[in-house]
Amino acid sequence: MIKFFPSVLFVVVVVLGACSSNRNVVDSNRNYIYISDNDMEYKSAIMDGKREEMIGNFAGALIAYEKAISLQPDNPVAYYAAGKLILENSDSSNPVLYAQKCVQLEGKNKWYRILEIDVSKKYANFEEVKKLYIAYYQDFPSDTESLFEVALYMHQNADYVSSLSYLDILKAEVGFSDDIVGLYIQNYLKNNNLKQVLSLIEEVLLVYPDNMKYKGLLAEFFASQKQFDRADSIYAEIIRNNQANGYIYLSMANFYHLKSNSNLELKYFRLCVDDPQVPLSKKLEFMLYVSDLFTTNDSLMYEVLTALELSYPDDPNLNATIARLHIKAGNFSLARLYLRKALQVYNNDYNQWIELLNIDTQLDMFTELEADATSAIELFPNQPLLYLYLGIAKMHFEKFIEAESYLEMGKSLSFDNTQLLIEFNIQLGEVYHRSKKFAKSDQAFNFVLQQSPNNYPIMNNYAYYLALRSSNLDLALMLIDKALVDSPNQLNYIDTKAWILYKMGKYADAMLLMEAHFDFNTTTNAVVLEHYGDILYRNGNTDSARKAWNRCIELGRDNEIIRTKLVNGLN
């Protein structure tokens, strides 16, 4: 999300300063300033750009900034505005030249230098960014506001020595904070320097002797080193003095988790849950990734999550976690409700969209599947799996042209992902068959069977479609026989083989096969009954055939074709 108003203010201030210097003519007699036409046009272009930004028209904003650059190519303000715009809103354009031009024109401007660094962090390698940071703090040694960000960036790129050196500067300026202490510890741990961790915590406690969080941190350190007695004594002191808070309770829950004392682990975690000062993210992290009390006990997990829901009803992470618990239990309708709540607050989690689309499919909610997949594609246009779901929805509503378009688009995005290509070709085989594009349908099914030669359901479908068309019946028979070797009692496969034999004119063989596997007095499969009626008729059993067709109508398969058969047979 773009924070428009601060940037508008900043640009206005800079524009007023930059445009008034060296470009204005002062009339000493009247004591007021004439502003050139060029300056007026420049200011107007900048303001046009900011207005376009505010309404989300980023292309229009960039056009306005480019106009300003053409008017005053030596003024850094428009370069800055364009570079920042592209950095924050575009994955296809590169703002490097704009950022570099800002610094070239006015290298002592702090904001231009920061933009150059931010751009480089996205588009350059770590060593180049590091050089920019070093140069920046040589020129702006008193700027400590961004030091933590620098230290964190160094840590994330495994330069722990540099990270520690920037933390030292920051600590000298502002002292200790939770973030600073935490990053110090992470750097020391990466260097396996446990003595420094202990020394740091002890140093912090000298500054803040009554801070329970840091006392808990010391206890956690001892617990992590299996020095349980020392950790236990610290926790006992905290509890004895009634100084515990939610953070301490969470620390103690982790401590008793390490000691495999599940009763005390749960006791102190419940106390942590009740403290609103502890962020929900910390509570969820403990439940999902630390404690096996919850990961092995869905009832307990659900109990605590629903208790948390009372305090955090709109939190997307909590709602997504509850949704996954319902998915695990097969409660798909409830899972869908919680996923929708999560996505209404934060819609940029691709995995949650996939979970939602899966549920739509499970529940046969094809109207919702069509709408949800369309929304997801708007957010993630390069994710092929979304096009698969949308293609399935379109096919359900017999929108075959649209289904074909989306499926082909998704297939083109799948590149060398063989499993995805198989899935797309399965659906395309269906779409092309229903659209009577039989050559393309055959091509799709053949691709699936080349890549997945033991995909027996596809063998059955492909064979059945060939039989419906009376096309390449020898191939159809070979495919269904291979499927029946693996699944000799699969009734769908048996019906397909009988229908192939029927299409080959082998009516007696088809009837023997059907009667050996189906009880036609009890079967409720109307399609099988219709096939059986056709086979009976070709074998001369016309009365039995009509009984089978009548039962089709009773079972709901009532159409003009069957009623015509009842009157005229198969003639």
Average pLDDT, the chain: 89
pLDDT over 90 (residue 421): yes
Cut 0.75: pTM above it: no
Overall CATH class of domain 1-139: mainly alpha
Token duo for residue 329: 């239990």
What is the average per-residue pLDDT within 526-553? Answer: 94
- Angstrom distance (rounded) from CA 261 to CA 257: 6
Token duo for residue 344: 């209404």
259 near 232, Cβ under 8 Å?
no
The pLDDT assigned to 479 comes to 97
The pLDDT assigned to 423 comes to 96
Query: Percent of the chain scored above 70 by pLDDT?
Result: 93
Furthest-apart CA pair in the chain: how many Å? 119
pLDDT over 60 (residue 25): no
The pLDDT assigned to 92 comes to 67
- Angstrom distance (rounded) from CA 152 to CA 166: 9
pLDDT one-digit tens code per residue, 504-526: 999 999 999 999 999 988 889 99
Domain ranges in the chain are 1-139
Q: Is 455 exposed, middle or buried (0-12, 13-18, 19+ CB in 10 A)?
A: middle
In this predicted model, which residue has the larger pLDDT, 166 or 441? 441
pLDDT one-digit tens code per residue, 375-387: 999 999 999 999 9
Token duo for residue 213: 């969080």
pLDDT over 50 (residue 569): yes
The pLDDT assigned to 27 comes to 40
pLDDT category at 4 given cuts 50, 70, 90 is very low
Three-state SS at 196: helix
325 near 301, Cβ under 8 Å?
yes
pLDDT one-digit tens code per residue, 456-486: 999 999 999 999 999 999 999 999 999 999 9
pLDDT over 80 (residue 283): yes
- Angstrom distance (rounded) from CA 44 to CA 561: 73
Handedness of CA 204, 208, 210, 216 (dihedral sign): negative
pLDDT category at 29 given cuts 50, 70, 90 is very low
Query: Percent of the chain scored above 90 by pLDDT?
Result: 61
SS3 percent helix, strand, coil of the chain, rounded to 5, is 75, 0, 25
In this predicted model, which residue has the larger pLDDT, 386 or 126? 386
Three-state SS at 190: helix
Of 9, 101, 98, which is closest to residue 53 (Cα–Cα)? Answer: 9
Token duo for residue 473: 């019946």
> Where is average pLDDT lowest: 8-12, 51-55, 330-334, 337-341?
8-12
pLDDT category at 309 given cuts 50, 70, 90 is very high
